[in-house]
Chains A and B, each alone.
Chain A
Amino acid sequence: MNLTLKIWRQKNATTKGKLQTYPISDISPDMSFLEMLDVLNEELIDKGEDPVVFDHDCREGICGTCSLQINGEPHGPDRAITTCQLHMRVFKDGDTITIEPFRAAAFPVIKDLMVDRDSFERIQQAGGYVSVNTSGNTQDANSIPVQKDNADNAFDAATCIGCGACVAACKNASAMLFTSAKVSQFALLPQGKVEATRRVLAMVEQMDKEGFGNCTNTGACEIECPKGISLDNIARMNREYLSASME
Chain B
Amino acid sequence: MGGILNSSIARKVAMALSGLFLVLFLLQHFIINFTSVLSAESFNEISHFMGTNFIVQFLIQPILIFGVILHFVLGIVLEYRNRSARPINYVRFNGSANSSWMSRNMIYTGLVVLAFLGLHFYDFWVPEIVHKYVESHPEDPTRYYHETVAKFESPVRTGLYVLSFILLSLHLYHGFSSSFQSMGWANKYAKGLRGFTVAYAILIPLGFIFIALYHYFNNV
A interface vs B, CB < 8 Å?
A: 6, 8, 19, 69, 71-73, 77, 98, 100, 103-106, 169, 171-174, 176, 204-205, 207-208, 211-220, 223-224, 231-232, 234-242, 245
Q: Please give, as numbers and ranges, the residues of chain A lying within 8 Å of B100 by CB-CB distance.
A: 218-219
Q: Is the CB of B183 within 8 A of A172?
A: no
Task: Determine the distance from Cα of A223 to Cα of B104 in the docked complex, in whole angstroms.
Answer: 15
Q: Is the CB of B82 within 8 A of A213?
A: yes
- Distance (whole angstroms) from the CB of B79 to the closest CB of chain A: 9
Q: Is the CB of B90 within 8 A of A242?
A: no
Chain A to chain B contacts (Cβ below 8 Å), 12 pairs: A72-B90, A72-B94, A103-B86, A172-B82, A223-B97, A223-B99, A234-B181, A236-B186, A239-B184, A241-B7, A241-B9, A242-B183
A interface secondary structure, majority: mixed
Knowing that A98-B91, A208-B8, A220-B98 touch, tell me 11 more A-B residue pairs with CB under 8 angstroms.
A72-B90, A104-B86, A204-B8, A205-B7, A208-B7, A213-B85, A213-B86, A215-B8, A216-B104, A216-B178, A240-B184
Q: Please give, as numbers and ranges, the residues of chain A lying within 8 Å of B48 by CB-CB distance.
A: none
- Distance (whole angstroms) from the CB of B155 to the closest CB of chain A: 36
Task: Determine the distance from Cα of A215 to Cα of B82 in the docked complex, in whole angstroms.
Answer: 9
Task: Determine the distance from Cα of A104 to Cα of B10 in the docked complex, in whole angstroms.
Answer: 22
Q: Is the CB of B12 within 8 A of A73?
A: no
Task: Determine the distance from Cα of A172 to Cα of B8 in the docked complex, in whole angstroms.
Answer: 12
Q: Is the CB of B99 within 8 A of A218?
A: yes
- Distance (whole angstroms) from the CB of A218 to the closest CB of chain B: 4
Q: Please give, as numbers and ranges, the residues of chain A lying within 8 Å of B98 by CB-CB distance.
A: 73, 169, 218-220, 223-224
Known: A216-B178, A235-B181, A235-B184. A100 touches B86 (CB 8 A): no
Q: Please give, as numbers and ranges, the residues of chain A lying within 8 Å of B185 by CB-CB distance.
A: 235
Task: Determine the distance from Cα of A203 to Cα of B90 in the docked complex, in whole angstroms.
Answer: 27
Is B92 at the interface (CB under 8 A from chain A)?
A: yes
Task: Determine the distance from Cα of A205 to Cα of B9 in the docked complex, in whole angstroms.
Answer: 10
Task: Determine the distance from Cα of A223 to Cα of B100 in the docked complex, in whole angstroms.
Answer: 12
Across the interface, name the chain B residue whose C-beta is closest to A217: B178
Is B111 at the interface (CB under 8 A from chain A)?
A: no
Q: Please give, as numbers and ranges, the residues of chain A lying within 8 Å of B82 by CB-CB distance.
A: 171-174, 213-214, 216
Looking at A100, A211, A235, the one whose CB has the most chain B CB atoms below 10 A away is A235
Q: Is the CB of A218 within 8 A of B97?
A: no
Is B13 at the interface (CB under 8 A from chain A)?
A: yes
Q: Is the CB of A212 within 8 A of B9?
A: no
Task: Determine the distance from Cα of A216 to Cα of B12 in the docked complex, in whole angstroms.
Answer: 8
- Distance (whole angstroms) from the CB of A215 to the closest CB of chain B: 6
Q: Is the CB of A103 within 8 A of B88?
A: yes
Q: Please give, as numbers and ranges, the residues of chain B lying within 8 Å of A106 by CB-CB distance.
A: 85
Residue B90 contacts which of A103, A207, A212, A214 (CB distance < 8 angstroms)? A103
Residue B87 contacts which of A105, A223, A224 (CB distance < 8 angstroms)? A105
Q: Please give, as numbers and ranges, the residues of chain B lying within 8 Å of A77 by CB-CB distance.
A: 97
- Distance (whole angstroms) from the CB of B67 to the closest CB of chain A: 20
Task: Determine the distance from Cα of A240 to Cα of B183 in the docked complex, in whole angstroms.
Answer: 10
